[in-house]
A and B are shown apart, each in its own frame.
Chain A
Amino acid sequence: MTVLDWVIVALRVVLPALILPAFVIPLVWVERRVAAFIQDRPGPNRVGPFGLMQSPADILKLFTKEDTVPASADKFLFLLAPGLAVLAALSTFAIVPFGPTLNIAGHSIPMIGADLSIGLLYVFAIEGIAVYSIVLAGWSSNDKFALMGGIRSSAQIISYELAMSTAAAGVVLAAGSFRLTDIVVMQQGGHHILPFLPRWNVFPQFFGFLVFFISAFAETNRLPFDLPEAEAELVAGYHTEYSAMRFGSYFLAEYINVIVASAMTATLYFGGWSLPGYHPHGIVGGVVSLCVLAAKTAFFVLVFIWVRWTLPRFRYDQLMKLGWKALLPLALANLLWVAGLEMYRLAR
Chain B
Amino acid sequence: MERLFFDAAALLAILFAGLMVVGRDPVKSVLSLVVSFFALAACYVLLLAPLIAVLQVIVYAGAILVLFLFVLMLLNVGREQPDGARRPIQTVLGSLAVVVFAGLLLGMLRATGTRIPILTEAVGPEGLADPAALARLLFSDYLLHFEAVSVLLLAALVGAFVLARREEAP
On whether A and B touch (CB less than 8 Å), the answer reads yes
Q: Tell me, yes or no, whether B58 is within 8 Å of chain A by CB.
A: yes
A128 near B74: Cβ-Cβ < 8 Å: no
Known: A135-B69, A154-B69, A155-B70. A128 touches B62 (CB 8 A): yes
B54 near A122: Cβ-Cβ < 8 Å: yes
A128 near B131: Cβ-Cβ < 8 Å: no
SS class of chain A's interface: helix, strand, loop or mixed?
A: helix
The answer for the CA separation of A127 and B73 in the assembled complex, in Å, is 20
Known: A77-B31, A117-B129, A117-B131. A154 touches B66 (CB 8 A): yes
Known: A77-B31, A132-B34, A176-B132. A121 touches B66 (CB 8 A): no
> For residue B62, which residue of chain A has the nearest CB?
A128
A118 near B74: Cβ-Cβ < 8 Å: no
B132 near A128: Cβ-Cβ < 8 Å: no
A125 near B27: Cβ-Cβ < 8 Å: no
> For residue B25, which residue of chain A has the nearest CB?
A74
Q: Tell me, yes or no, whether A27 is within 8 Å of chain B by CB.
A: no
Chain B interface extent, by class:
20 to 34
Contacts of A177 in B (CB 8 A): 132
A151 near B54: Cβ-Cβ < 8 Å: no
B50 near A147: Cβ-Cβ < 8 Å: no
Q: When A and B form their complex, what is the total count of cross-chain residue pairs whose Cβ atoms lie within 8 Å?
A: 65
The answer for the CA separation of A247 and B67 in the assembled complex, in Å, is 26
- With beta carbons under 8 angstroms apart, the residue of A128, A138, A178 that contacts B58 is A128
Contacts of B61 in A (CB 8 A): 125, 128-129, 132
The answer for the CA separation of A329 and B129 in the assembled complex, in Å, is 32
A118 near B66: Cβ-Cβ < 8 Å: no
The answer for the CA separation of A125 and B73 in the assembled complex, in Å, is 22
Instruction: Give A137-152 as 1s and 0s: 1 = Cβ < 8 Å from B's Cβ atoms.
Output: 0110000000100110
Q: Tell me, yes or no, whether A171 is within 8 Å of chain B by CB.
A: no
B50 near A118: Cβ-Cβ < 8 Å: yes
Contacts of A124 in B (CB 8 A): 54, 58, 62
The answer for the CA separation of A158 and B59 in the assembled complex, in Å, is 11
Q: Tell me, yes or no, whether B13 is within 8 Å of chain A by CB.
A: no
Q: Tell me, yes or no, whether A302 is within 8 Å of chain B by CB.
A: no
Contacts of A135 in B (CB 8 A): 66, 69-70, 73
Q: Tell me, yes or no, whether B51 is within 8 Å of chain A by CB.
A: yes
B73 near A128: Cβ-Cβ < 8 Å: no
The answer for the CA separation of A122 and B55 in the assembled complex, in Å, is 9
Give A contacts to B, CB under 8 Å. Answer: 77, 116-118, 121-122, 124-125, 127-129, 131-132, 135-136, 138-139, 147, 150-151, 154-155, 158, 161, 176-178
Sorted from nearest, which 10 A-B pairs have the closest CB atoms? Answer: A128-B62, A125-B57, A121-B54, A118-B54, A125-B58, A125-B54, A118-B50, A154-B70, A128-B58, A124-B58
Give B contacts to A, CB under 8 Å. Answer: 27, 31, 34, 50-51, 54-55, 57-58, 61-63, 66-67, 69-70, 73-74, 129-132
Apart from the given pairs A125-B61, A128-B62, 6 other A-B contacts in the complex at a CB distance below 8 Å: A125-B58, A127-B62, A128-B63, A132-B66, A154-B70, A158-B67
Chain A to chain B contacts (Cβ below 8 Å), 19 pairs: A77-B31, A117-B129, A117-B131, A118-B50, A121-B55, A121-B58, A122-B54, A124-B62, A125-B54, A125-B58, A125-B61, A128-B63, A129-B57, A129-B62, A138-B73, A151-B70, A154-B66, A155-B70, A161-B62
